[in-house]
Structure 1
C-alpha cells in the first residue's frame, strides 16, 4: 500500500505546526500574563500599606516595613489584627517574668483597630512583627 505524497506532506505539516505551537506556548503565555504578575516592591522601595479610618496602617510586614496593625488569629480562631506596640510590650513582659503562672495577652481587632473580636495569648516564644524580616 502506498501513501500519496500529498498526504505525507499534510501529516508532516500538521506535526510541525502542532510541535511549534507546543514549543511557543510558554513564551506566548508569558507575553499575555505579564500584566497579571505580582508587583511586589523591590528591596529598598517604600511600602504603602492601607490605612484604616483611625489613620493606622495595616497588613503584613513587607521588606523590613511593619504597619501598626498586623494579621493574627485569636485564641478562639478568629482572624483579625493585633497592634504591634501591644504585641511587643506583652512579649517583653513575657520574656522578663519570673512568674511561671503569669498570662500575657493582646486584643485582636477588626481592621478598624477599635472593635475587639478576641484575644491572643502571648508567650516569650510568640513571634514578633519583625521576626524573620532580616533573614
Structure 2
C-alpha cells in the first residue's frame, strides 16, 4: 500500500477521533453506564450503587433494591435520573387525581441530583420502580 498524503491525513483523523472518544468516554459514562452498579463483581458479594457528592445513590434498580436516583429517559430523549421519592409522590398524586388525563412532571437530573436535564411524565400507567415496571 502506498502512503499518499490523503491516506496519512485519513489515518491522522482516525487517530484524533479515537483519542477524542477516549477523552469523552468518562463524561458520557456518567450518564450512560452509571446504571451498572460498581463493585459486586464476584458472585455473592453485595452490590453497591454509585454515590454522588450529596450522598445519594444512583443507578438502575437491582432486584428489590432501588437507588435514591433512578436511571430514566426524560421527555425529549435525554438520559438522566429521577429522585425516587419524587416519583413516588407523583405516582400517588396521579392515582388520587379525579382527572383521568392529569399528568405530573417531575425533574430529571444528572447523577449529581441537582443539575436538571429535563422532565419525566408520570401518567396513569407509570409503574413502580420497586416492581421493575417503571417508565
Kindly name which structure, 1 or 2, has the bigger radius of gyration based on alpha carbons. 1
1:13-28 map, 5 Å: none
Partner deviation per Cα, 1:58-98 (whole Å, 9 max, x = no partner): 01111211110010111111000000000011011111111
TM-score normalised over the length of structure 2: 0.63
Distance 2:96 2:84 in 1: 18
Q: Kindly report structure 1 stretches of 4+ aligned residues shifted beyond 6 Å.
A: none
Distance 1:101 1:66 in 2: 28
1:1-135 map, 5 Å: 39=41, 42=44, 46-132=46-132
Gaps of 5+ in 2: 1-39
- Root-mean-square deviation (CA, aligned residues, Å) is 2.0
Distance 2:84 2:70 in 1: 7
Shift of 1:103: 2.2
TM-score normalised over the length of structure 1: 0.63
Partner deviation per Cα, 1:87-133 (whole Å, 9 max, x = no partner): 01101111111123422111000010000000011012112211238
Seen in structure 2, the aligned counterparts of structure 1 residues 54 and 96 have a Cα distance that, compared at 3 Å, is same
